[in-house]
Structure 1
Amino acid sequence: METMRLDKFLKVSRIIKRRTLAKEVADQGRVFVNGQQAKASTNVKAGDELTIRLGQKIIKVRVESLQESTRKEDAASLYSVLSEEKIEE
């Protein structure tokens, strides 16, 4: 089964626009893969569930497929959003 680094998947899928930012978010402990805290180097595969905290919201997505690169309009097909919630502070 194919795997891809978490930071690269976040960039290719355009959930996070830049890979350096994706790496920072992961290294700050704000990304979970299948409920486990993940580092930027964690491998993800199709079927994995990612929970990502970005600013004031938490997004849950399922990895649908992996591609080395993708066009902007196809990026959303790499994952499906399971839930999105705002955090009240």
Structure 2
Amino acid sequence: MRLDKFLKVSRVIKRRTLAKEVSDEGRVKINGHTAKAGTVLNVGDIVEIRFGNKIVTLEVLMLESHARKEEAERMYKIISEERIEKEEKDGEINEFL
């Protein structure tokens, strides 16, 4: 299943177009490698998504083309959520995990 479709069906991201934008901006990694919207996901893949000042890491448990809200929550397991603190110094932004 395509990454953008998984993010939408699993309700990690509400709209597929937004999932595509986030992916194509390089804010999503699969198993440590930057992924595009069309990257094919497999069960067991580790997905890392950067949302503003937060990085969410999740494991793919199921791949379904359609899912109700209750089923969507079972498609993945959140491994971690990390906040990124931004520090501005001399016009340069440094990010810390």
Map of 2:24 onto structure 1: 27
Take 2:52 and 2:43, find their aligned partners in 1: how far apart are those partners? Answer: 26
Q: How many pairs are equivalent? A: 86
Amino acid in structure 2 at the alignment position of 1:12: V
Q: What is the RMSD computed on CA atoms of the aligned residues?
A: 0.5
Instruction: Report the identity percentage.
Output: 58
> Which stretches in structure 1 are left out of the alignment for 5+ residues?
none
1:36 alignment partner in structure 2: 33
> Which amino acid letter does the alignment assign opposite residue 80 of structure 1?
K
Structure with bigger gyration radius: 2
Larger relative contact order (C-alpha < 8 A, sep ≥ 6)? Answer: 1
* 2-structure distance, mates of 1:47, 1:73: 20
Q: Which has the higher helix share?
A: 1
For structure 2, the 5+ residue unaligned runs are 87-97
TM, length-normalised to structure 2: 0.87
Question: AA paired with 2:14?
Answer: K
Q: TM-score, normalised by structure 1?
A: 0.95
CA deviations on 1:47-76 (whole Å, 9 max, x unpaired) are 000000011100000000100010012211
